[in-house]
Amino acid sequence: MPRMIQHFAEQGGTTVLVSQPEPGQGVDTADIHGLVCGHKRGSSWFLFGLRVAEHARGKGVARALMAEICRRSREHGEVQAITSATIPQNPAAVRLFQQLGFSHTHTVDVWPSYAALASYEQAVGFVPGASQQPTHNTSLKDHVQGAKELLSQASSSLGVQAEHWVQASSLQQLQQAVRCIRQQQMELAPELRLVPADLPQEWLPWVYEPWPLDSSYVQKRLQEGAVWLLPFPATAVQHSASRSSMYSSCARSVVT
């Protein structure tokens, strides 16, 4: 996360808010209670990096930070929506977004599940946040049941579909693809029809990375020829691996 914050801060269009205790007797003003970041992405204001120190939780720090970073959404220009992303395994964040008026806009499956990852980390002695980690000779695919079979099936499926992929040459092509995917999503999850229609179209090239189609990032990827589309229904890969985890993108409109 520190590297991500530094990366976007160096690009500009980024605000970083930090919560610290007020000066007083016996209070260390260098103590950080929490932080959150906002990054201007085209017509959207993307929130990320919300963190609250364990000793400061339950005191409204997260809500105060989120409310303030939302209020500052126009410091880097006009925006149509405020967006962010989280996972269902973080119910506190989900509740906070709901309380602040955000709508659930997307849900993306992630494999393997968070439970499988946690089990693997425990098995190899990985300690989150530790500067030094133990060396090990096993990989995640050896640890997760069904992983090798799934990867083999996915590789075969990719080979069959390779000739059908086409390189996106224009923003209009990507917009049409996003509209088609959105329609499929709403057929599978009717509750997504309740999402405000005025929210900018988003492309999710990576987890936790929703980008509006009018952003410079998307324009650059198109110019580089780095966006590919599969214009026919992909064949589903059946597997017996553990249930995927998910992360969700959420947004709320900005009232002008």
Per-residue model confidence as pLDDT tens digits over 37-84:
999 999 999 999 999 998 888 999 999 999 999 999 988 888 999 999
Confidence bin at 242 (pLDDT 50/70/90): very low
Question: Bigger pLDDT: 51 or 235?
Answer: 51
Q: What pLDDT is recorded for position 158?
A: 73
Rounded to the nearest angstrom, the gap between the alpha carbon of residue 243 and the centroid of all alpha carbons in its chain is 19
Q: What pLDDT is recorded for position 48?
A: 92
Find the mean pLDDT for residues 18-33.
Answer: 72
d(CA 210, CA 223): 19
pLDDT at 240 over 50: no
The three-state secondary structure class of 249 is strand
Question: Bigger pLDDT: 71 or 238?
Answer: 71
C-alpha to C-alpha distances, 172 to 28, 131, 153, 201, 206, nearest whole angstrom: 54, 46, 33, 12, 21
Tokens representing 70 are 């939302």
Find the mean pLDDT for residues 211-235.
Answer: 86
Q: What pLDDT is recorded for position 217?
A: 92
Question: Bigger pLDDT: 137 or 140?
Answer: 140
User: 104 forms bridges with which residues in the sheet?
Assistant: 250
- Least Cα distance to 211 among 196, 201, 224 occurs for 201
pTM of the full predicted structure?
0.78
- Strand 81-86 and strand 44-52: pairing? parallel
